Protein backbone atom coordinates (compact mmCIF):
# COMPACT_ATOMS: atom_id res chain seq x y z
CA UNK A 1 0.00 0.00 0.00
CA UNK A 2 1.36 3.42 -0.98
CA UNK A 3 1.88 5.78 1.94
CA UNK A 4 -0.39 8.80 1.52
CA UNK A 5 -0.27 10.33 4.99
CA UNK A 6 2.07 10.88 7.93
CA UNK A 7 0.70 11.39 11.43
CA UNK A 8 3.07 13.05 13.87
CA UNK A 9 2.94 12.88 17.62
CA UNK A 10 3.65 16.35 18.99
CA UNK A 11 5.78 16.29 22.12
CA UNK A 12 9.14 14.64 21.49
CA UNK A 13 8.62 14.55 17.72
CA UNK A 14 7.81 18.11 16.63
CA UNK A 15 8.85 19.91 19.81
CA UNK A 16 10.08 18.93 23.26
CA UNK A 17 8.27 20.22 26.33
CA UNK A 18 9.41 17.39 28.60
CA UNK A 19 11.11 19.73 31.03
CA UNK A 20 8.04 21.96 31.26
CA UNK A 21 5.94 18.91 32.11
CA UNK A 22 8.48 17.85 34.70
CA UNK A 23 8.62 21.31 36.29
CA UNK A 24 4.81 21.50 36.47
CA UNK A 25 4.41 18.02 37.95
CA UNK A 26 7.30 18.62 40.35
CA UNK A 27 5.76 21.86 41.60
CA UNK A 28 2.44 20.10 42.18
CA UNK A 29 4.10 17.16 43.92
CA UNK A 30 6.10 19.45 46.20
CA UNK A 31 2.95 21.34 47.16
CA UNK A 32 1.26 18.05 48.07
CA UNK A 33 4.38 16.67 49.79
CA UNK A 34 4.57 13.76 47.32
CA UNK A 35 7.89 12.35 46.13
CA UNK A 36 8.48 12.90 42.41
CA UNK A 37 11.63 12.63 40.32
CA UNK A 38 12.68 12.38 36.68
CA UNK A 39 12.48 8.58 36.69
CA UNK A 40 8.81 8.79 37.61
CA UNK A 41 8.39 11.53 35.02
CA UNK A 42 9.64 9.13 32.32
CA UNK A 43 6.63 6.90 33.06
CA UNK A 44 4.32 9.74 32.04
CA UNK A 45 5.42 9.77 28.40
CA UNK A 46 2.52 9.44 26.00
CA UNK A 47 -0.22 9.01 28.61
CA UNK A 48 -3.09 11.33 29.51
CA UNK A 49 -2.89 13.97 32.21
CA UNK A 50 -5.24 12.09 34.55
CA UNK A 51 -3.37 8.83 34.06
CA UNK A 52 -0.14 10.72 34.75
CA UNK A 53 -1.66 12.11 37.94
CA UNK A 54 -2.59 8.61 39.08
CA UNK A 55 1.03 7.54 38.58
CA UNK A 56 2.22 10.52 40.63
CA UNK A 57 -0.28 9.69 43.38
CA UNK A 58 1.19 6.22 43.78
CA UNK A 59 3.66 7.93 46.12
CA UNK A 60 0.97 9.82 48.05
CA UNK A 61 0.41 9.04 51.73
CA UNK A 62 -3.32 9.79 51.62
CA UNK A 63 -6.25 9.12 49.31
CA UNK A 64 -7.69 11.74 46.97
CA UNK A 65 -11.32 11.99 45.88
CA UNK A 66 -12.27 12.34 42.23
CA UNK A 67 -12.98 16.03 42.77
CA UNK A 68 -9.60 16.51 44.43
CA UNK A 69 -7.90 14.71 41.54
CA UNK A 70 -9.66 17.00 39.08
CA UNK A 71 -8.40 20.04 41.00
CA UNK A 72 -4.85 18.67 41.06
CA UNK A 73 -4.97 17.96 37.33
CA UNK A 74 -6.20 21.47 36.57
CA UNK A 75 -3.57 23.01 38.84
CA UNK A 76 -0.78 21.12 37.09
CA UNK A 77 -2.13 22.12 33.69
CA UNK A 78 -2.23 25.78 34.71
CA UNK A 79 1.43 25.59 35.73
CA UNK A 80 2.27 23.91 32.42
CA UNK A 81 0.33 26.43 30.34
CA UNK A 82 2.27 29.27 31.93
CA UNK A 83 5.57 27.55 31.16
CA UNK A 84 4.82 26.81 27.50
CA UNK A 85 4.25 30.51 26.84
CA UNK A 86 8.05 30.59 26.59
CA UNK A 87 7.95 28.42 23.45
CA UNK A 88 8.78 29.84 20.02
CA UNK A 89 9.93 28.49 16.66
CA UNK A 90 13.39 27.86 18.08
CA UNK A 91 11.84 25.00 20.05
CA UNK A 92 11.05 23.03 16.88
CA UNK A 93 13.25 19.94 16.82
CA UNK A 94 16.05 19.74 14.21
CA UNK A 95 14.97 18.42 10.82
CA UNK A 96 11.24 18.82 11.40
CA UNK A 97 10.71 21.74 9.01
CA UNK A 98 12.65 19.96 6.24
CA UNK A 99 10.56 16.83 6.78
CA UNK A 100 7.28 18.73 6.64
CA UNK A 101 8.30 20.65 3.52
CA UNK A 102 9.54 17.48 1.83
CA UNK A 103 6.32 15.59 2.53
CA UNK A 104 4.20 18.47 1.27
CA UNK A 105 6.24 18.64 -1.94
CA UNK A 106 5.49 14.96 -2.49
CA UNK A 107 1.78 15.52 -1.97
CA UNK A 108 1.71 13.48 1.23
CA UNK A 109 -0.88 14.66 3.75
CA UNK A 110 0.31 15.41 7.28
CA UNK A 111 -1.50 15.41 10.61
CA UNK A 112 -0.91 15.74 14.33
CA UNK A 113 -2.15 12.97 16.63
CA UNK A 114 -1.49 13.97 20.23
CA UNK A 115 -3.07 13.18 23.59
CA UNK A 116 -2.26 16.70 24.80
CA UNK A 117 -5.18 19.08 25.18
CA UNK A 118 -2.68 21.93 24.82
CA UNK A 119 -1.78 20.93 21.25
CA UNK A 120 -3.37 23.97 19.52
CA UNK A 121 -1.61 26.41 21.86
CA UNK A 122 1.77 24.71 21.45
CA UNK A 123 1.49 24.67 17.65
CA UNK A 124 0.60 28.36 17.63
CA UNK A 125 3.49 29.26 19.93
CA UNK A 126 5.99 27.54 17.61
CA UNK A 127 4.42 28.94 14.43
CA UNK A 128 2.98 25.71 13.02
CA UNK A 129 -0.68 26.30 13.82
CA UNK A 130 -1.76 26.28 10.16
CA UNK A 131 0.79 23.80 8.86
CA UNK A 132 -1.09 20.49 9.14
CA UNK A 133 -3.94 19.07 7.10
CA UNK A 134 -5.57 17.69 10.25
CA UNK A 135 -5.09 17.96 14.01
CA UNK A 136 -6.51 15.55 16.57
CA UNK A 137 -5.73 16.21 20.23
CA UNK A 138 -6.84 15.24 23.70
CA UNK A 139 -9.94 17.41 23.44
CA UNK A 140 -11.31 15.16 20.69
CA UNK A 141 -10.71 11.67 22.08
CA UNK A 142 -12.07 9.55 24.91
CA UNK A 143 -9.23 7.03 25.08
CA UNK A 144 -5.57 7.95 25.39
CA UNK A 145 -2.64 6.00 23.97
CA UNK A 146 -1.97 3.05 23.71
CA UNK A 147 -5.55 3.05 22.44
CA UNK A 148 -5.34 3.89 18.71
CA UNK A 149 -8.29 6.32 18.75
CA UNK A 150 -6.23 9.48 18.23
CA UNK A 151 -4.46 8.06 15.17
CA UNK A 152 -7.59 6.50 13.69
CA UNK A 153 -9.37 9.85 13.96
CA UNK A 154 -6.42 11.60 12.35
CA UNK A 155 -6.46 9.15 9.44
CA UNK A 156 -10.21 9.68 9.09
CA UNK A 157 -9.75 13.46 9.00
CA UNK A 158 -7.17 12.98 6.24
CA UNK A 159 -9.71 10.82 4.36
CA UNK A 160 -7.19 7.97 4.37
CA UNK A 161 -7.27 4.33 5.42
CA UNK A 162 -5.10 3.39 8.43
CA UNK A 163 -2.78 1.28 6.28
CA UNK A 164 -2.14 4.30 4.06
CA UNK A 165 -0.63 6.18 7.01
CA UNK A 166 2.67 6.25 8.87
CA UNK A 167 2.79 7.27 12.52
CA UNK A 168 5.90 8.95 13.95
CA UNK A 169 6.20 8.47 17.72
CA UNK A 170 8.71 8.86 20.52
CA UNK A 171 6.66 7.15 23.27
CA UNK A 172 6.20 3.41 23.72
CA UNK A 173 2.47 3.87 24.30
CA UNK A 174 2.24 5.84 21.06
CA UNK A 175 4.08 3.17 19.10
CA UNK A 176 1.69 0.57 20.47
CA UNK A 177 -1.27 2.78 19.52
CA UNK A 178 -0.09 3.14 15.93
CA UNK A 179 0.48 -0.57 15.53
CA UNK A 180 -2.91 -1.39 17.06
CA UNK A 181 -4.46 1.02 14.58
CA UNK A 182 -3.05 -0.95 11.66
CA UNK A 183 -0.52 1.68 10.65
CA UNK A 184 3.15 1.65 9.89
CA UNK A 185 5.09 3.21 12.75
CA UNK A 186 8.41 5.02 12.87
CA UNK A 187 9.83 5.09 16.39
CA UNK A 188 12.21 7.93 17.20
CA UNK A 189 13.91 9.22 20.32
CA UNK A 190 12.93 7.43 23.52
CA UNK A 191 10.78 4.79 21.80
CA UNK A 192 13.59 3.90 19.40
CA UNK A 193 15.79 3.16 22.40
CA UNK A 194 13.19 0.67 23.63
CA UNK A 195 13.44 -1.59 20.57
CA UNK A 196 14.13 -4.57 22.84
CA UNK A 197 10.56 -4.29 24.12
CA UNK A 198 8.68 -7.27 22.68
CA UNK A 199 5.62 -5.16 21.93
CA UNK A 200 7.73 -2.91 19.71
CA UNK A 201 8.85 -5.58 17.27
CA UNK A 202 7.42 -6.42 13.90
CA UNK A 203 7.48 -5.63 10.23
CA UNK A 204 5.26 -2.57 10.72
CA UNK A 205 7.81 -0.85 12.98
CA UNK A 206 10.90 1.01 11.83
CA UNK A 207 13.60 2.42 14.09
CA UNK A 208 15.56 5.27 12.58
CA UNK A 209 16.17 8.97 12.58
CA UNK A 210 13.19 11.22 11.90
CA UNK A 211 15.41 12.91 9.33
CA UNK A 212 14.94 9.91 7.04
CA UNK A 213 11.15 10.23 7.01
CA UNK A 214 11.32 12.42 3.94
CA UNK A 215 12.39 9.36 1.95
CA UNK A 216 9.26 7.28 2.61
**77 annotated as ligand-binding:** no
**9 annotated as ligand-binding:** yes
**26 annotated as ligand-binding:** no
Identify the active-site residue in 11, 18, 63, 147.
11
**52 annotated as ligand-binding:** yes
Which neighbouring-strand residues pair with 185?
Answer: 167, 205
**98 annotated as ligand-binding:** no
Q: Give yes or no: 11 in active site.
A: yes
**145 annotated as ligand-binding:** yes
How far from each other are the two terminal CA atoms of the chain, in whole angstroms? 12
| CA–CA separation, 159 and 39 (whole Å) | 39
Identify the active-site residue in 9, 63, 66, 147.
9
| CA–CA separation, 12 and 59 (whole Å) | 26
Identify the DSSP state of 35: -
Q: Give yes or no: 39 in active site.
A: no
**46 annotated as ligand-binding:** yes
| CA–CA separation, 43 and 56 (whole Å) | 9
**44 annotated as ligand-binding:** yes
Which neighbouring-strand residues pair with 113?
Answer: 136
Q: What is the DSSP string of 8-53?
A: E-SBTTTB--HHHHHHHHHHHHHHTT----HHHHHTTTTS-HHHHH
**11 annotated as ligand-binding:** yes
Task: Summarize the annotated binding site for Mg(2+) as residue ranges.
Answer: 9, 11, 169-170
Indicate which residues carry an active-site annotation: 9, 11
Task: Summarize the annotated binding site for substrate as residue ranges.
Answer: 9-11, 25, 44-49, 52, 76, 114-118, 145
Task: Summarize the annotated binding site as residue ranges.
Answer: 9-11, 25, 44-49, 52, 76, 114-118, 145, 169-170
Amino acid sequence: MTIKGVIFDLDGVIVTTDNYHYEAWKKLADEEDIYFDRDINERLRGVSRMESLNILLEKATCDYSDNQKKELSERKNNYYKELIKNLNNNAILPGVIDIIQGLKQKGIKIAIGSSSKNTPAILNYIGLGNCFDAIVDGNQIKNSKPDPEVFLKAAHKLNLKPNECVVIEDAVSGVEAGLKGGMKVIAVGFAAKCSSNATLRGEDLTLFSAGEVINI
